[in-house]
A and B are shown apart, each in its own frame.
Chain A
Amino acid sequence: GQNIDQPTEMTATEGAIVQINCTYQTSGFNGLFWYQQHAGEAPTFLSYNVLDGLEEKGRFSSFLSRSKGYSYLLLKELQMKDSASYLCAVRPPYNTDKLIFGTGTRLQVFP
């Protein structure tokens, strides 16, 4: 089966850098996704990693280590609008049409 762990809540200050970790235990792996979800709104896609290493997209970067079952989302130059939940999701290999979501990390950015 799949088990995905991420912290429930984090806080940070505007302008700072924050790292949100995600660990997964799976019988196989075919990609990891990060989504952002503002309260009461739809999740929106941030990043996708299938190979080890760092993917950078502007202020957001995502890292993956398949051997460690570990990923992180790095948010730089935090802005108030970054206050949201960040969802880690794993795509298992046996059915590439499903995503298994973690419970999400609620990030609050303070001035």
Chain B
Amino acid sequence: DADVTQTPRNRITKTGKRIMLECSQTKGHDRMYWYRQDPGLGLRLIYYSFDVKDINKGEISDGYSVSRQAQAKFSLSLESAIPNQTALYFCATSDYNQETQYFGPGTRLLVL
């Protein structure tokens, strides 16, 4: 079984709709991250969380919100989706010595 899972894997939605992307991990890591990836722009950090009571904005948090429901779960919400939020979204985890981050398989989101 995969250590970091994301649901859904693909999603098509319409402008103005609310959508939630979910991430779960079985690695026992405290730290979790949400990134988006766009062609030519690389991976950009949206939000990150050190533990259940800690949430931090990344470089592109506008238009997004997150919830850390448990150590193993970190959800990303788009309250009112817009077309320029069309992207590939990755969740990642790391442990406290942070030598690497482990990425989920990604969610491909299309906003029409």
| Chain A residues within CB distance 8 Å of chain B | 33, 40-45, 48, 87, 89, 91, 96-99, 101-104
Known: A33-B100, A97-B98. 7 other contacts (CB 8 A): A40-B106, A40-B108, A42-B105, A43-B103, A89-B43, A91-B98, A99-B45
B64 at the interface (CB under 8 A from A): no
| Contact partners of B42 in chain A: CB under 8 A | 87, 101-104
Given the complex of chains A and B, what is the CA–CA distance between A42 and B89 in angstroms?
10
B69 → chain A, closest Cβ, in Å?
20
25 CB contacts below 8 A, A to B, read A40-B88, A40-B106, A40-B108, A41-B106, A42-B4, A42-B103, A42-B106, A43-B43, A44-B103, A45-B100, A45-B101, A45-B102, A48-B100, A87-B43, A89-B43, A97-B48, A97-B50, A97-B56, A98-B45, A98-B48, A99-B101, A102-B42, A103-B41, A103-B42, A104-B42
